[in-house]
Amino acid sequence: MENGRHNSDESIFSMAAASCRRYGPLVPVSQSPRLPSPSVLLVVALFLVSLVPAGCSDPDREILAGMGEAEQARFLRGRVVSTPCWTCHDLAGRGKKVGPSLQGIYGRRSGLAPDREGSPAMIGATIVWDDRSLGAFLRDPSGFVPGNRMVFPGIRDPGALSDLLFYLRHVTRPPPPASEAG
Ligand code: HEC
């Protein structure tokens, strides 16, 4: 005589796992006709994901495997710092987020992400993104590129910022080129 909700718990967990990655759900989650409404599921899934970010099969396993302990610790700290970024950015470039994909951001010019047109301010800034420029931007987005559209207060803690950059440098690396243009 439970309230009958328990049936869907497993599905909710598998959805949570599938949306663990910054790429969004890559693998289609098998649909159960009994699921509650998508918006309810989404809220629950997001809540679970926010509770147990490291509980999912780790999306960065391969990267972590190539690191020593100190680097792993730094990477994981950076990953925590990056949490708010993935509200607005992804690595897939599917254009479903308000901000541009961060994949391949290192070495790219500001405002020229393939999936999103940058603001005039961002394009006009003609920054080439590297640790230095990203650090300056992420410390104070509106101060470094006045008039840009990223609504984010910035990360003032130098340690957190440096960990974030370390993490970003690894995860934004484009995957091995399947189709290199030119
Ligand atoms: C509230 C949404 C939001 C959050 C949170 C956010 N961003 Fe952004 N970000 C944007 C938008 C929108 C732009 C495009 C700005 C423009 O073109 O003026 C942007 C632009 C950028 C750019 C420049 C992209 C380019 O193509 O030149 C970088 C790099 C970036 N964000 C990194 C981050 C990182 C790292 C974080 C987390 C610390 C973060 N952002 C958090 C919305 C967000």
Q: What is the pLDDT of residue 2?
A: 42
Task: Return the best residue to mutate from 150, 151, 168 for the ligand 1 pocket (most ligand atoms within 8 A of CB).
Answer: 150
Q: Whose CA is nearest to atom 27 of ligand 1?
A: 110
Q: What is the CA radius of gyration of the chain?
A: 18
Q: For 90-129, how does the pLDDT look when each residue is reduced to its tens digit (9 = 90+)?
A: 998 777 899 999 999 999 999 999 999 999 999 999 999 9
Query: Tell me, what amino acid is at 97?
Result: K
Query: Domain coordinates of the chain in residue numbers?
Result: 5-51, 61-171
Q: For 42-80, how does the pLDDT look when each residue is reduced to its tens digit (9 = 90+)?
A: 776 666 666 555 556 888 999 999 999 999 999 999 999
The verdict on domain 61-171 having CATH code 1.10.760.10 is: yes
126-135 long-range contacts, CB within 8 A, separation 24+ = 129/105, 130/106, 131/165, 131/169, 134/105, 134/106, 134/165, 134/168, 135/161, 135/162, 135/165
> What confidence category does residue 179 fall into, taking pLDDT thresholds of 50, 70 and 90?
low
Distance 73 CA to ligand 1 centre (A): 25
